[in-house]
Amino acid sequence: MSESVNASGGFLVPDELIAELIFLRDKYGVVRRNADVRTMSSDTLWIPKNSASATAYWVGDNAAITASDMTLDRVQVLAKKLGILTQISSELNEDAIVEIGAAFAQDVAWKTEQEIDRVEGRQMIMMLAPNKK
């Protein structure tokens, strides 16, 4: 008998396996890393914004400075809920060599940020260039 042949005893020797999952992906959450994330006390939040800036003019010697004002507006932010639901059997949870709960939490965070990037990234483009779709 030997461990190099499965039928001769190899099945009795488990393969070496590290107790963690490797997530081969880039870090997600580009929008959230660069966004101003705010806590909301209701479903709607209004944020003031500068919709047009004052104009700077080159002024000659003893010349009057042309007046200009900035224009203000506001942006409405609506709270939305994003969810993920999966089922993990108690047997898998108990018997898996990896911490399945921790792996699932990491995967949920990744997929959540991926979806946020998809939706909020498009909204940012629409806000910065409203005439382009």
Q: Is 3 part of a structural domain of the chain?
A: no
Q: Is 113 part of a structural domain of the chain?
A: yes
Select the more confidently predicted residue: 98 or 70. 70
| CA dist., res. 86 & res. 57, Å (int) | 60
Q: Is 12 part of a structural domain of the chain?
A: no
Mean pLDDT of 44-54: 90
Closest CA to 28 of 123, 89, 101, 119: 119
Q: How many domains is the chain built from?
A: 1
| CA dist., res. 82 & res. 73, Å (int) | 28
Beta bridge partners of 52: 71
**26 alpha carbon, distance to own chain's centre:** 12
Could you tell me the pTM of the whole model? 0.51
Helices vs. strands in the chain: H and E counts, helices first: 3, 2
Q: Is 24 part of a structural domain of the chain?
A: no
Q: Is 115 part of a structural domain of the chain?
A: yes
- Structural domain boundaries enclosing 40: 32-128
Q: Is the pLDDT of residue 71 over 60?
A: yes
Q: Give the DSSP letter of residue 51.
A: E
Q: Is the pLDDT of residue 66 over 60?
A: yes
Q: Which of 34-38, 67-71, 84-88, 110-114 has the lowest mean pLDDT?
A: 34-38
Closest CA to 120 of 37, 40, 49, 50: 37
Q: Is 18 part of a structural domain of the chain?
A: no
